[in-house]
Amino acid sequence: MKICRLISVLMLLSFVTITTPFAWPAEPGWYFGAGIGNSDPDVSFLDDDSGTKFFAGYNYDGTWGLEGAFVELGDFDIDTRPGSVEVDGFQFAAVGNLPVGEASLFGKAGFYRWDAEAPAGSPIGDDDGIDVMWGFGIAFEISDNWLVRGEWERFDIDGDDIDMLSISLVVK
């Protein structure tokens, strides 16, 4: 199932690359977006799940900016017992943009204020914290104000990593 999602995201990014005539010039100003993707925890007894995010950011001078987001990483089923662990939280990151050809590459790094909730008796109890996150991606302009971006992000959750591969629609 994980490979099917990865292939679907790569096919969509390939289609957008071929059909998009202009790059995102990373102009100064506000942008807002929403995305969906696949979250993969590195904890052996948790299954993959889909995640969602809603974000807003400000691009200061075309090369760097700040971004805030609510990221729901997933409701991960526990293999060893009935139940699941839900992880969500708020992200705050610095973002760097680099226009390249018909695309704009970007990287980000920051902090993730997370909350994990699990049913009673699960191997993972309720917990919360603030840890680092980072990621990178590529954005394509599909009209004057609309972008499509694909990205990979890593969230450190109390020493365990959750990777999220996502595709987002952005309005600037």
- Domain range summary for the chain, segments of one domain joined by +: 2-171
Give 10-residue mean pLDDT values along the chain (172 residues): 49 45 60 94 76 95 92 80 82 93 90 87 75 96 91 91 94 91
- Token pair for 58: 């400000």
The fold for domain 2-171 equals Porin (2.40.160)
Q: In this predicted structure, what is the pLDDT of residue 84?
A: 77
Q: In this predicted structure, what is the pLDDT of residue 121?
A: 66
Its pTM stands at 0.78
Facing residues of 110 across strands?
A: 93, 133
- Token pair for 5: 């999602």
Q: In this predicted structure, what is the pLDDT of residue 99?
A: 86
Q: In this predicted structure, what is the pLDDT of residue 159?
A: 84
Enumerate residues 6+ apart whose C-beta is below 8 A from 132. 109, 110, 111, 112, 156
